Amino acid sequence: MHSILITGANGFIGQALVHRLRNERYIIKRAFRCSTSRSTLSNCRDFVVGDINGDTDWSQILDGVDTVLHLAARTHITRERIRDPLPLYCAINVAGTRQLATQAAKAGVKRFIFVSSVKVNGERTYGRAFSEYDPPAPEDAYGISKKQAEDVLVSSLLGSKTEYVIVRPPLVHGPGVRANLKSLTWAVIKGLPLPFNSIRNLRSLVGVENLVDFLVCCINHPNAAEKVFLVSDGEDVSTPELVRRIANVANKKAWVFSCPTSLLLAIARLVRRDAMIEKLVGSLQVDISRARRELDWKPLKTLNEGLYDMVSNMSSDPSEAKDGRWYK
């Protein structure tokens, strides 16, 4: 049977990936930083590897593994409290990736799929969507560390029989979503007035099921090897349109009013939320034509279907979800 190692298996994307593969003919090895609840799935094997960095020993868990899906990372933090967080990002995202890739090559792993980020491309688009052929232009510590991780992955596998695949998703939505999108969704559900009606932008998103489906496609597709892919739901929306769609699937009324963008940004800077507001104001589009053309892949679900799944998963308590399989 095909054996797959998933790092970050207890994360938002990792849990969805394990759930998708639960009935497939795969042996799934889930890697955790510390002890966690054991899986009840017959095809799952759990391993505790400790902190992921340049010293992590992967030798035991990599034995017999055909494919690595590397999801674990120090993720983007909107309100970073450390003056220079880059070394912290690099310890996990760069050194950790190099260590895993080097040991994967030695273990004879056939394919290493790395979940990077669209932030490698940059923070904003201006009338043209990002593609895989654009020169990388990361701006913050997270994006820089992901770009460096991509580079060390390629160099670590150079000359080996292990193929790499790099996937750069934009904002991921779906059941169990956290951070800013979760906050925005709850604001819409609660009927809070939102000052976004004057925003004229376009942003790409990807539903967690669409992202997982793409990752599964990359496991065996021969055309995926040694390539970078951008992935999304295939449709872009403005911030006010996103609010209206969330309200629609939640069967709520969208309360959006107009406020000059300059005023929004000024207020955001005063309350130190400028990074969050800039994302709501700016455009960030990705072109998924390479995935469609070379892998014959298309999104499983529309954006509306993904938003419905996200909203219907939320209970009356914002800290909980109806379906505990997605996060705990």
Tell me the catalytic residues. Answer: 142
What does the alpha-carbon distance between residue 277 and residue 261 come to, in Å, rounded to a whole number?
Answer: 9
User: Would you say 41 and 6 are in contact if contact means Cβ atoms under 8 Å apart?
Assistant: no
User: Would you say 51 and 35 are in contact if contact means Cβ atoms under 8 Å apart?
Assistant: no
Residue of 215, 174, 153, 166 whose CA lies nearest to 18: 215
User: Would you say 221 and 280 are in contact if contact means Cβ atoms under 8 Å apart?
Assistant: no
Pairing of strands 227-230, 163-168: parallel
Give the distance, in angstroms, between the CA of residue 126 and the centroid of all CA atoms in the same chain: 22
- Sheet strands side by side (includes 26-32): 44-48, 26-32, 2-7, 67-70, 111-115, 163-168, 227-230
Which two tokens mark 149?
A: 């991780």
Residue of 311, 183, 301 whose CA lies nearest to 251: 311
**Enclosing H/E stretch for 275:** helix 274-281
What does the alpha-carbon distance between residue 100 and residue 106 come to, in Å, rounded to a whole number?
Answer: 10
